[in-house]
Amino acid sequence: MENPFKFGTIVEEEYFTDRVQEVAYIEQFIQSANHLVLISPRRFGKSSVVAKAVKQSGRKNITVNLQQATSVSDLSAKLLKELFKVHPLERVRHLITHFRVIPTISTNPLTGSMDVSFQPGVDGIVLIEDVLTLIEKAHSEQDRIIVVLDEFQEIRDLAPKLDKQLRSIMQKQKNINYILLGSQESMMTDIFEDKKSPFYHFGELMRLGKLPHEDFHQYLSERLANCFVETHEELADRILDYTDCHPYYSQQLAANVWQIGMLQPSTSDPVQKAIDYIVTTHGLDYERLWMNFNRTNKWILQRLVSNKPLQSGEYRTSTIYSALKRLKKDGYVIYSDHYELEDPFFKEWILTNNK
């Protein structure tokens, strides 16, 4: 029997729960001529919620993950390749003839999909401008296409001044709704909220929270019911208490609890056993991570995991806050109404290894 929980990739169909309001909001929002910016800490479900809303809208769309682009030229090729999934080459061939650099386009005999590349050494900005212009020209204001750029904060690493150049191309376009997603909280806010940034107020900023307890509880307990007939409700409670409704970690823990239920149904405390298993499997990574933190960071993490106050006089407030800011930027710490560790299993590891 297949594990009914899924973690690590985009979830859809039966693996996707709740987010009803968010999906409706995104779908409705992109009916306007505006762009949307979606921010959350890592693995909260940004890519999944946008994929669902875009699919549900039934509109033409393309998605590119900037983390997978190795250069601006590669990003341009990836966008064009995605466009060919929406429009056959024949329909846009006349627009490609206007390109300043003609791409190499071939059909992959194994997958049947189109492969696109540009000759090396060409200025990436020229390529991306031509590709985005083509996407614009292939559509109209009555038939706008949705372009999703995932992990958008990567534009800062792809090429210097790319943000400025992209903005000047994108702001003139009328036939595209952009949805820009990103997970490095502070960098995304820098890009969209800093007055000096070219993308300042480019679109509506939307933040995604954790999943609501009630829906997620139902999702987990009904899937655990086939191996834990009597205790599934209680197990779902324990899982969500432990992960504080974090979408990814809850699915990960539930998947392990389910596995235990299938293999050793008589285990007395399957949630604890699953936690121990996950912490042990990641032990080496956690140890390596820990060794690389400086003394202040280690101290802060220890205080956070044991719920002790940070203002104890040991470090200056300014030192604590600049370290916290960095830890948050690097994704180890998240802030909702209080600072907490992003990974509950790393928290467990710190608690057991620093007694």
| Contact partner, 11, from Mg ion, ligand ATP, none, Cβ < 5-8 Å per class | ligand ATP
Looking at 2, 9, 121, 263, which residue binds ligand ATP (CB under 6 A)? 9
Least Cβ distance, residue 12 to Mg ion (angstroms)? 13
Radius of gyration (C-alpha) of the chain in whole angstroms: 23
Least Cβ distance, residue 274 to ligand ATP (angstroms)? 15
Judged by beta carbon, residue 47 or residue 297, the one nearer Mg ion is 47
| 3-class DSSP state of 64 | strand
Please name the helix (run of DSSP H) or strand (run of DSSP E) that holds residue 38, with its range, or none: strand 36-39
Q: What residues numbered 114-133 form the site for ligand ATP, per CB under 6 A?
A: none
Q: What residues does 334 pair with on adjacent strands?
A: 340
Looking at 228, 242, 248, 286, which residue binds ligand ATP (CB under 6 A)? 248
48 lines the binding site for ligand ATP (CB under 6 A)? yes
Q: What residues numbered 18-47 form the site for ligand ATP, per CB under 6 A?
A: 18-19, 40, 42-47
**What long-range pairs does 86-89 form, CB within 8 A, spacing at least 24?**
86/60, 86/61, 86/62, 86/145, 87/138, 89/114
CB 127 within 8 A of CB 44: no
The span from the CA of 251 to the CA of 138, in Å, is 40
| Contact partner, 73, from Mg ion, ligand ATP, none, Cβ < 5-8 Å per class | none
The span from the CA of 130 to the CA of 96, in Å, is 8
Least Cβ distance, residue 32 to ligand ATP (angstroms)? 24
Judged by beta carbon, residue 103 or residue 182, the one nearer Mg ion is 182
List, in order, residues 6 or more apart from 258 with CB less than 8 Å away. 3, 4, 5, 223, 224, 227
Where do we find the tokens 């994108």? Answer: 170
Least Cβ distance, residue 46 to Mg ion (angstroms)? 5
Residues 45-64 vs Mg ion: string with x where CB under 5 A?
--x-----------------
Chain contacts with ligand ATP (rule: CB under 6 A): 6-11, 16-19, 40, 42-48, 183, 247-248, 251
Binding site for Mg ion (CB under 5 A): 47
